Chain A
């Protein structure tokens, strides 16, 4: 497997309290990697390290190395704006801006200085199509994003992330606020996205991890306990702790 992201000896502290402990793993390119583990094990903290989202948290200190395509994202002269363009993110709760559907998707491009109407129109259409939302909203692109259902809002957030043409998409429990039908749509979308993007998804739902991911990492109290091919992790985990967690004996 070709590694898109390489994490080496990653540790993180919030105000002196260690949240991640010496994590080393390679995230393969154009695959879906799921991060599972009980609440508070550091799943979200871990993926937020991959686009330096933890930088804005006071008292947060990071050690170790994260490289994307061989370049360290924590090096002194790293371009964080470029990093966030390379690494898109979708959060637990859909968080569209209080603008129209069109403006939500076009936002990233406008910030990047693209104002050509034709280009923007193309980007919006392409991104909405990739997020499997275009058919549902093509006749009301100027309506408020707030008028969409939760599942549609989440796909809009995905379209917004895709508009800036990232290479990596991070998803922090993208379906936890959605009903089963909306969840199925997002999961279908995740499977399609792997054709073009490297996806890292945090999920509480182990069946979801089993359904959508190629690789699964199990974190427990900040440590990477087991990492491997999803089928192996869910059928025959090597570590006792993984076995206990995924069979619901704790967590």
Chain B
């Protein structure tokens, strides 16, 4: 009976990681679509919207079913609890990817105001955090999560720097306001993704060690 549960738990974990790859893909491709002004790629991101929602519902259903059938305890219970939380964070990250793709399409008509440097850099850092979180969960290795607080601070600083840069362009010419607002929103979305990565790291740490931590 319990070995069936552990088999199911393994499958659920695998699917959470698969969902993580999908969310990461949506975020990365949305930034790529923004950079290359590639509407096709943006559409591809948008096409995954339903898929990530369906994965969320399917994994949630299986977690609840496993809880009702096997009443897991200790680490098993913590892992199931973490899966339920991780899928929420991953869905949100995927949705931010979708939002960025929508903005990318809107901005695709005209060239960017300047070469985008901070946004892709920020996206790379965010993706690194999500990726490290998922690897930590997969390999039960919390050492990958150690400096998440500082990494999140860097991302917050980048968001602020993008915001200031946008302000300059907006003050220069009011025609830039719409575009710059979009850039600032993208930076905000990426910052929120990093916050979700931090929450993921907290849940993963709890699942692996049983200790509750707060990443500030």
Contacts and interface: CB of A to CB of B under 8 A. Distances in A.
B74 A236 contact: yes
A235 B77 contact: yes
Contacts of A210: 73
Interface string B62-73: 000000001111
Interface of B: 1-2, 5-6, 70-78, 210-211
Nearest to B209: A236
A206 B5 CA distance: 16
Contacts of A242: 74
Given A235-B74, A247-B74, 19 more contacts: A206-B71, A206-B73, A234-B77, A235-B77, A235-B210, A236-B74, A236-B210, A237-B74, A242-B74, A243-B74, A243-B75, A246-B73, A247-B2, A247-B76, A248-B6, A248-B73, A248-B76, A249-B2, A249-B6
B78 A236 contact: yes
Interface in A229-251: 234-237, 242-243, 246-249
A206 B70 CA distance: 11
Contacts of B2: 247-249
A234 B78 contact: no
A208 to B, nearest CB: 10
A207 B77 contact: no
A237 B76 CA distance: 12
B77 A248 contact: no
Nearest to B76: A247
Interface centre among A234, A242, A243, A248, by most B CB within 10 Å?
A: A248
Interface residues of A, number: 13
Given A248-B2, A248-B5, A249-B2, A207 B71 contact: yes
30 contacts: A206-B71, A210-B73, A234-B73, A234-B74, A234-B77, A235-B74, A235-B210, A236-B74, A236-B78, A236-B210, A236-B211, A237-B74, A242-B74, A243-B74, A243-B75, A246-B73, A246-B74, A247-B2, A247-B72, A247-B73, A247-B74, A247-B75, A247-B76, A248-B1, A248-B2, A248-B6, A248-B73, A248-B76, A249-B2, A249-B6
Interface of A: 206-207, 210, 234-237, 242-243, 246-249
Contacts of A246: 73-74
A235 B2 CA distance: 17
Contacts of B71: 206-207
The 7 A-B pairs of least Cβ separation, nearest first, read A248-B2, A236-B210, A246-B73, A247-B76, A207-B71, A243-B74, A234-B73
Choose among A207, A234, A236 the residue with the greatest number of B CB atoms under 10 Å from its CB: A236
A243 B76 CA distance: 9
A235 B79 CA distance: 11
Contacts of B72: 247
Nearest to B71: A207
Nearest to A248: B2
A195 B75 CA distance: 32
B78 A235 contact: yes
Contacts of A247: 2, 72-76
Contacts of B77: 234-235
Nearest to A243: B74
B147 to A, nearest CB: 24
Nearest to B73: A246
A206 B75 CA distance: 15
Contacts of B1: 248
Contacts of A207: 71
A230 B78 CA distance: 15
